[in-house]
Amino acid sequence: MSTFQAPKGTYDLIPPDSAKFLAVREAISAPLRDSGYGYIETPGFENVELFARGVGESTDIVTKEMYTLTTKGGDQLALRPEGTASVLRAALEANLHKAGNLPVKLWYSGSYYRYERPQKGRYRHFSQVGAEAIGTEDPVLDAELIILADQAYRSLGLRQFRILLNSLGDKECRPVYRDALQTFLRDLDLDEETRRRIEINPLRVLDDKRADVQKQLTDAPRLRDYLCDACKAYHEEVRALLTAAGVVYEDDEKLVRGLDYYTRTTFEFVHDGLGSQSAVGGGGRYDGLSEMIGGPALPSVGWALGVDRTVLALEAEGVELDLPVTTSVYAVPLGDEARRALFAVVTGLRRAGVAADFAFGGRGLKGAMKSANRSGARYTLVAGERDLAEGVVQLKDMESGEQTAVALADVVAELTTRLG
């Protein structure tokens, strides 16, 4: 007999750990929901051209990492490697930007797919919660998003993360810098692939992790020296707003993101307990993306936080989440009649909003009590024939061990009161 395994680079979320993922998604989205961001859901796949144009033909994501497929009807599709291009596409398609209420603020949560070399923290199927604020150029909006991500991580109890901040300039100043950088890089001693990268995406060369490459980059022209006055002023304002909000960040000139659409503000949240896959989240401004995918000029900013890596960061810091109780009451029937009576009680409890579970399968008292313990329930209800004959059930407080007989008719009310 053969058994199947999850595909390479993927893993299943199973209880009890899966509860952490739900809690992380909840914690990241809560500050967004409280700040005017509306929920958006887009398909898991899109026309491949959207990502080629949006994310960029020269990025690893598009050239190496996309899961592409041709449908029976001949459409070229790709499983989404990221959310920004899809969300902007959907906003344009629904004309949200024309409703006279800019910025259009949206948040999302879902699965993304990249054919990467799997390792701890890097998967082929992963989960993000993201936010996009579309159609407004305002440094307050950039600051808002960074502050909300910081708030989300803090609410989870994370402390050992850092915020790296940079400005990539705009369509005026970045090309001038790009030329200067290319001229500099062409004179270095680099391998073929890196030489090709100089021509396609020279900023990515700055990001090269190899020591011999980094050594040669010490005197590389710096983007900071090429930013135009408007970009400089914008960036200073973002920095000042973060400082005013008490959010600590580090200026990181070398921060180059793996997607081509960024302009001006870019940032990354890195966690020091994660080894090489340290980015728990990232984002920035993408003022040109709308036009790149055929829309009007819509300056925008956003981020996506990786749920998988956030969970790893929690584990690295030893943070135990305060997870909601899954079962408050566990019912253990002894015999057929008790099974019907206690199942009715459980149904009543559930209807009253009390989380309740039941010992199924007519098991003996010992096994059923083990399950009751494992469920984490605060109270257990046990009833046998003699109890029913007296019209009662035994209510056991699992913390104190105290047991009392409660009239069958009163038990839902009694438990609702006790559990507050």
- Contact residues toward ligand HAM (CB under 6 A) are 82-84, 114, 116, 122-123, 126, 128, 130, 132, 258-259, 279-284, 286, 302-304, 306, 308-309
Inter-residue contact 207 to 226 (CB < 8 Å): no
**Least distance (Å) from ligand HAM to the CB of residue 113?**
9
**Least distance (Å) from ligand HAM to the CB of residue 180?**
26
- Spatial CB neighbours of 324, under 8 Å, sequence gap ≥ 6: none
Pick between residue 202 and residue 283 the one whose CB is nearest to ligand HAM. Answer: 283
**Least distance (Å) from ligand HAM to the CB of residue 41?**
15
* Closest residue to bound ligand HAM by CB: 306
Pick between residue 300 and residue 328 the one whose CB is nearest to ligand HAM. Answer: 300
**Least distance (Å) from ligand HAM to the CB of residue 167?**
15
**Least distance (Å) from ligand HAM to the CB of residue 82?**
4
What Rg, from alpha-carbon coordinates, does the chain have? 27
Spatial strand order in the sheet of 161-167: 38-39, 104-113, 125-134, 300-306, 279-285, 263-271, 161-167, 250-251
**Least distance (Å) from ligand HAM to the CB of residue 31?**
16
**Least distance (Å) from ligand HAM to the CB of residue 173?**
20
Pick between residue 116 and residue 252 the one whose CB is nearest to ligand HAM. Answer: 116
Pick between residue 130 and residue 139 the one whose CB is nearest to ligand HAM. Answer: 130
Pick between residue 307 and residue 369 the one whose CB is nearest to ligand HAM. Answer: 307
Taken in order 232, 236, 242, 243, is the CA torsion positive or negative? positive
**Least distance (Å) from ligand HAM to the CB of residue 260?**
11
Q: What DSSP string runs through 208-228?
A: ---HHHHHHTTT---GGGT--
Pick between residue 310 and residue 375 the one whose CB is nearest to ligand HAM. Answer: 310
Strand partners, 166: 266
Pick between residue 78 and residue 280 the one whose CB is nearest to ligand HAM. Answer: 280
Tell me which residue has tokens 């010490």: 218
How many CB atoms neighbour CB 289 within 10 A? Answer: 28
> Strand, helix or coil at 50?
helix
384: amino acid identity, one letter: G
Specify the length of the chain in residues.
420
C-alpha neighbours within 13 Å on the C-beta side of residue 134: 32
Pick between residue 59 and residue 371 the one whose CB is nearest to ligand HAM. Answer: 59
Tell me which residue has tokens 């701890």: 120
**Least distance (Å) from ligand HAM to the CB of residue 297?**
17
Helices (DSSP H) in 251-353: which residue ranges? 289-292, 307-317, 336-351
Pick between residue 114 and residue 239 the one whose CB is nearest to ligand HAM. Answer: 114
Closest CA to 267 of 251, 278, 247: 251
- Spatial CB neighbours of 332, under 8 Å, sequence gap ≥ 6: 342, 359, 365, 368, 369, 372, 380, 381, 382, 383
Pick between residue 111 and residue 326 the one whose CB is nearest to ligand HAM. Answer: 111
Distance from the Cα of residue 330 to its chain's centroid: 33
**Least distance (Å) from ligand HAM to the CB of residue 261?**
8
Phi, psi of 55 (to 5 degrees): -75, -35
CA distance 279 to 328: 38
